[in-house]
Amino acid sequence: MSDAVVIAVDLGGSSMKGALVSSSGATIATESRATPDTDVVDALVGLVHHLADTAADLGHPVVAAAVVTPGMVDESTGSVIYASNLDWRDVPLLELLQARIDLPVAVGHDVRAAGLAEQLLGAARGSRDFVLVPIGTGVAAALVTAGHTITGALGAGGEVGHIPVVPGGEPCPCGQRGCLEVYASGGGVARRYAARGGAPLTSRQIVARLGADPLADEVWGDAVRVLAQGLAILTLLLDPRVIVIGGGFAHAGEALLGPVRAELSGLLAWRDSPRVVPSLLGGEAGRTGAAILAFRAAGMGEVVDAWSTTTVPA
């Protein structure tokens, strides 16, 4: 019999990224679809069934499925309390999926699942105290303390992107002012560059102009300072051993991490800075986390121990 597989789906506001992942950690197949504007659960079920057909074609038994989703997620019930980019409120996702999928099903939070993957297989491997900060259009976080990922009373913990870091600062699309992601995110950098008279560029294009474009330098300098301030806050509250920076913004590499490390170190007067490192799993961390949750739902959580970063979905 071929190697058992799970169906792992990373649901986002714009796409649903699915994969078949084997018990050895190998990705057997991937399939992505645009997230529809309505009937998202129907679309998810369709994607899961289609991946199950693919597994059957390839001769792999499917032992479980897991979906990770953004928003406020109650992992004890598998319900999504609120997800702005899916326009969901109080959606009993696990119940809806389980009723139509004849496999053990798990539901998790996308960034917390990514944190689990970075902890078991990635840049935070072996650490029980770390934070994963994926920086893309916005900023999210998985905060892990003594091996437990912080979820909070309402499943709403980890909102690093919206902590108020600049008192009375610039408005955030979320309705608050001075949020971290107003300054230190892909969306924020692009918006602030354009608002100051710059061309409508992406943050990646703005990074490419550093050193040659004073406006790019200014907006980027603010991003570095505010991100370092946010990381100083996380360091003083949570005392992590390592801070893992992920998301599209991390593509800036040392143009981001070098200055952020220097700035963070300067903000901390009486304690050492934790290590600040790039994500190893990148954009696949959420789906890898979903695969881990699925193997756990199948009662096979221990298979992950044998995985390595060379065999995880790439």
Type and span of the H or E element at 217: helix 214-238
* Residue 103 CB neighbours (<10 A): 18
Closer to its own copies at the Cβ: 59 or 168?
A: 168
Conformation bin of residue 195: beta by default, left when phi > 0, alpha when psi is -120 to 50: alpha
Q: Which one, 178 or 247, has the nearer CB to its own copies?
A: 178
With respect to its own copies, which residue has the nearer C-beta, 196 or 271?
271
Which CB atom, from 48 or from 232, has the smaller least distance to its own copies? Answer: 232
**Closer CB to its own copies, residue 232 or residue 303?**
232
CB of 56 to its own copies, least distance (A): 39
Minimum distance, C-beta of residue 122 to its own copies, in the bound complex (Å): 17
The strand order across the sheet containing 72-74 reads 72-74, 79-83, 88-91
Q: How far is the CB of 293 from its own copies (least distance, A)?
A: 18
Minimal distance, residue 137 CB to its own copies, in Å = 17
Q: Which two tokens stand for residue 45?
A: 């079920």
Neighbours of 42 (CB within 10 A): 12
H-run or E-run covering 206 = helix 203-208
Distance between CA 118 and CA 39 in Å, rounded?
Answer: 31
For residue 139, how far is the Cα from the chain centroid?
9
User: Residues 6 or more apart from 125 whose CB is under 8 A from it?
Assistant: 118, 119, 309
Cα-to-chain-centroid distance, residue 197: 32
C-beta of 92 vs 164, nearer to its own copies: 164
Residue 114 CB, shortest distance to its own copies, in Å, is: 17
- Cβ proximity to its own copies, 130 vs 307, nearer residue: 130
**Burial group, residue 53, by CB count within 10 angstroms (0-12, 13-18, 19+):** exposed
Residues that bind its own copies (CB under 8 A): 127-129, 141, 143, 145-146, 148, 150-160, 162-167, 174-176, 225-226, 229, 232-234, 236-241, 267-271, 274
Burial label, 25 (beta-carbon count in 10 A; 0-12, 13-18, 19+): buried
Phi/psi for 143 (5° steps) reads -105, 115
Residue 49 Cβ, how far from its own copies at the closest point, in Å?
35
Q: How far is the CB of 228 from its own copies (least distance, A)?
A: 9
